[in-house]
Structure 1
Amino acid sequence: MAGHPITVDYKGRIAIITLNQPEKLNSLNQEQFYLLGELLREVATHEEVVITLLIGTGRFFSSGADMSDLSRSDIVFHHHSSSLNLTPKNETPINWADICKNAIPSTYTRPMFFNGHLQTIRILLDNPELPIYYKRWMFQQSNKLFEGEFAVDFAIRSLQDSEGQSPPEITTMFTKKEFENIGSLDSKPMLVVLHGMNGGSGEAYLRRSLMPFINGGEEWEACVVNSRGCAGSQLGNGILYNARSTWDLRQVVEWLQQKFPNRPLFALGFSMGANMLVHYLAEEGQKCPIRAAAICSNPWNLEVLSHHLQSSFFMREVYSRGLTASLKKFLNTHEQKIMTNPDVDKNEVARIQYLHEFDRAIQKPMWKYPTETVYYREASSVNPLLSVRIPIFALNSEDDPLSPQMGLPIEEAKANPYVVLVVTSFGGHLGWFQQDGSRWFIQATGQRTNYPQYFPNETF
């Protein structure tokens, strides 16, 4: 039985079980350990056998467990039994779930980053030098209910000097003349990106995700909608963003349609930005101008997340306090504007230590919620997912400490034919680090570079 990883031979009253993978030093993965047990049970049925030998081919008997197998992540697809059929131009219809399955690569993670906490903390050390640069324009919100300004960064392929303020070093400002002439009649697909909580266009995970689109050629354009006061921008007034803010994104999408009428629009959201994006897609419904969207590490159920962050000393002191430390820096930077809101209590703000305390002191009064729990329920994107009417690909990990498995919208994904929810067993929050240090989710979302072929105007 040459070629089999484990074989058994009977010679009279002796059974010989041979480990036959010398190139792997006869290490065994989970399936092979099970096979070994099956063979031992088979030998036990042979009453004539009195001696069982377990041997290995090659220079080692066995090096033990195959650690590479321990790094393999399971991938589970959750979708409607009759997933949406798309019709590429001049081609036969293809199922949305099949498109996603064909695009997803097999996933591995480093054994040393074997759980979601290590994967998530590893992000703090990820600071690559990437040729992703931006030109920025400050937009003024036209909706008087949410007046204020916010920064939109347009990805460019080389950094050029520009007049005016330069927030992060990878970003320069458009001159007024440059921005007035930004419009185009080209038909390049355009990617609209939303970052995670208190992040911005300079985040490593976001810039990595843009690499396949921007540095893969001239086929795509992209812009990042920065939340108010983020990415080195200043608050124009005391109106912040929250977990379901859609008004700034909506204005940008409408503006893009006017300036680039021939460009098909796609969207990519991360973490809290993914939560906002789902709300926007649900609010737009059938008339949504976005052709398709991908979202990564959406926290989905914010009430579940809040309970999870308070469930243990570790979660409370490492994650809740850690996230809040960043938000407190944000508050200190924009304190003068934020404190113009008469409903925000300065003394309560000074006592903030944990994330739920931030939401109680800031988001609750700013948006007139009776409690922070009501805010969490209103801002969660589980139920809105049912109202999305464009193809959406969602990626989460079971071991994500900031998107608990119990909060994932598995049944909602199965109820909406436009949705494919992909859940991996490893990955953490926006981690998915692989053996070579690369990020697997970049491969998964980067495959969307060939999506325009599936979304001609008549698709929907």
Structure 2
Amino acid sequence: MSGIFNFWNACYTADVRYPKESALLTTKEQRSTTTSVFLREFVERRCPSLHAEFRPAWWLSNGHLQTLYCVLGDFSQRDKVVYNRTFLRLLDGGTLGLDFTPVDDSHLTPETPIIVVMHGLTGGSYESYVRAILAPACTPVHQGGLGYRAVVVNFRGCAGVPITSPQLYSAGHTDDLRQALFYISHRFPEAPLLGLSFSLGANVMTRYVAEEGECSRLKSACILGCEALEFVGEYLQACVHRHVATFAKDPDHDVAKAAAVTIGLAKPTITMFDEHFTRIGGGSSPPWPFASANDYYEYASSHNVLSRVRIPLLAINAADDPVVQDVPMDAGGNGWVVMALTPYGGHLGWFESDEGWGRVRRWITRPVLEWLRATGTDLIRPAPHWRPLHEDGGFLKEVGIDRLGCKELDGSSIIVGTEGEAGLLAGL
């Protein structure tokens, strides 16, 4: 009885931490005027749902249940999103899958904001947590949506993207996102790019905006459920097993040897997986390979770089998340970062009761949409210090960085967002 009593008398509002010295932003106001506001005021005025109550559905009253429902719940009839997939060939021979929505964007202007999404663990654009936000965000304004474009950057080997080089992905490898942003910003040069990322992808995006500082191609970032460097490794092992034939084409390569050992591990933890594979095949050289999994963790953790972020960043986590055990609520004292911690929500859940018996919806959708509207429409960004792009041998590159480049491959395909991959963990 005491557990039920505590649930019904719990606190349901997020612990929102603002920096002591907030960054000063320029925003659009009514009648085409502009004004300067501090980040705290910007969020408090434009993201009221962040401070509103989140009451979890009574039958999903703790983090484990919320997280389990992410994996086992049936979301096939909710938030349907259809994508047009573009494949990018990278300079190292790897391949990325960029899923754009809406498929017919002829009614959108060149200045329409674009949400750039990075998914979690072994997921993709089909994930229910991705669609819960993109469905309303990309619905036309006259139908109650934001009327934005969006693109999901699918990791190498995920969501039907082939492995075409001896490298997978990891929480610390940011170059794939960097190259995807080359392409997106080149294709839509007038559109502001708004980052949205989940779990492992959230760690990647946080590291990217920290590494780039004022040169970030993202205007803002919303980070959910970051970070997940210590979770079960069987699902990443399944991803390696799915592509082991590709790795085996060059059996003498260090990554091929690592893959062969990895698929033989019995019920590996994430530390075991990272020790045998990620520290070797999770990124490009330098800084890969690492001497140990611990060295990789020290490098990859986004906690260590938050102080270097120079765009507005909102990070939301749940206190009962069984995956994320440590949240740096001080954000390194960075005036550009707002940290929010909800008492409940699990890992990427945040399910609350909806109309109808047993139906749920995601509370997180509301504050994220408010943030995307505010940063996409109201926020005015100072002229960014982007490095110019140029074409070299058919590859799109940044001036001064010869090791990175991408080019669009011929052909595209329609992707139905509710169709995931069999055998891989969904929802995380």
Q: TM-score, normalised by structure 2?
A: 0.76
Secondary structure at 2:86's aligned position in 1?
Answer: strand
With 338-347 and 360-369 compared, the bigger mean Cα shift is at 338-347
* Cross-structure match for 1:264: 192
Secondary structure at 2:207's aligned position in 1?
Answer: helix
- Per-residue CA deviations over 1:232-275 (Å, capped at 9, x if unaligned) read 12111221111112112111212222221111111101000000
CA distance in 1 between counterparts of 2:364 and 2:41 reads 18
Please tell me whether Structure 1 or Structure 2 has the larger radius of gyration of its CA atoms. Answer: 1
Q: Does 1:149 align with 2:95?
A: yes
Using the TM superposition, give the Cα deviation of residue 419 of structure 1 relative to its aligned residue in structure 2, in angstroms.
Answer: 0.1
| Match among 110, 116, 123 for residue 199 of structure 1 | 123
Contact 2:116 2:150 in 1 (8 A): yes
| Match among 376, 382, 386 for residue 458 of structure 1 | 382
CA distance in 2 between counterparts of 1:126 and 1:81 reads 43
Contact 2:121 2:201 in 1 (8 A): yes
Using the TM superposition, give the Cα deviation of residue 420 of structure 1 relative to its aligned residue in structure 2, in angstroms.
Answer: 0.1
* Cross-structure match for 2:279: 364
CA distance in 1 between counterparts of 2:319 and 2:210 reads 25
* Cross-structure match for 1:85: 24
Using the TM superposition, give the Cα deviation of residue 356 of structure 1 relative to its aligned residue in structure 2, in angstroms.
Answer: 1.3
Secondary structure at 1:81's aligned position in 2?
Answer: coil
CA distance in 2 between counterparts of 1:439 and 1:252 reads 28
With 395-404 and 359-368 compared, the bigger mean Cα shift is at 359-368
Secondary structure at 1:112's aligned position in 2?
Answer: coil
CA distance in 1 between counterparts of 2:261 and 2:178 reads 35
Query: Which one has the bigger helix percentage?
Result: 1
1:121 corresponds to which letter in structure 2? Answer: L
| Match among 329, 338, 344 for residue 420 of structure 1 | 338
* Cross-structure match for 1:336: 245
CA distance in 1 between counterparts of 2:55 and 2:261 reads 48
Using the TM superposition, give the Cα deviation of residue 155 of structure 1 relative to its aligned residue in structure 2, in angstroms.
Answer: 1.2
Secondary structure at 1:74's aligned position in 2?
Answer: coil
RMSD after superposition: 2.5
CA distance in 2 between counterparts of 1:365 and 1:187 reads 41
Identity between Structure 1 and Structure 2 (%) = 29
Using the TM superposition, give the Cα deviation of residue 213 of structure 1 relative to its aligned residue in structure 2, in angstroms.
Answer: 1.0
CA distance in 2 between counterparts of 1:395 and 1:425 reads 11
Aligned residues: 350
* Cross-structure match for 1:446: 369
CA distance in 1 between counterparts of 2:174 and 2:302 reads 12
CA distance in 1 between counterparts of 2:254 and 2:24 reads 51
With 245-254 and 196-205 compared, the bigger mean Cα shift is at 245-254
Contact 1:349 1:358 in 2 (8 A): no
**RCO higher in 1 or 2 (8 Å CA, sep ≥ 6)?**
2
CA distance in 2 between counterparts of 1:264 and 1:348 reads 41
Q: Structure 1 pair 459/234, CA: closer, same or farther in 2 (3 Å)?
A: closer
Q: TM-score, normalised by structure 1?
A: 0.71
* Cross-structure match for 2:303: 382
With 333-342 and 254-263 compared, the bigger mean Cα shift is at 333-342
1:41-440 alignment, distance < 5 Å: 68-70=8-10, 72-89=11-28, 90-102=33-45, 103=47, 104=50, 105-124=52-71, 125-129=73-77, 130-142=79-91, 144=92, 147-156=93-102, 186-217=110-141, 219-299=147-227, 302=229, 306=230, 320=232, 324-339=233-248, 340=250, 341-343=253-255, 344-345=257-258, 346-353=260-267, 354-366=269-281, 367-404=288-325, 407-413=326-332, 415-436=333-354, 437-440=360-363
Contact 1:139 1:150 in 2 (8 A): yes
Contact 1:193 1:223 in 2 (8 A): yes
Unaligned runs of 5+ in 2: 282-287, 355-359, 385-428
Using the TM superposition, give the Cα deviation of residue 94 of structure 1 relative to its aligned residue in structure 2, in angstroms.
Answer: 2.2
Using the TM superposition, give the Cα deviation of residue 209 of structure 1 relative to its aligned residue in structure 2, in angstroms.
Answer: 1.3
- Per-residue CA deviations over 1:110-164 (Å, capped at 9, x if unaligned) read 222121111100112142423311000110113x4xx311111001257xxxxxx
Contact 2:174 2:207 in 1 (8 A): yes
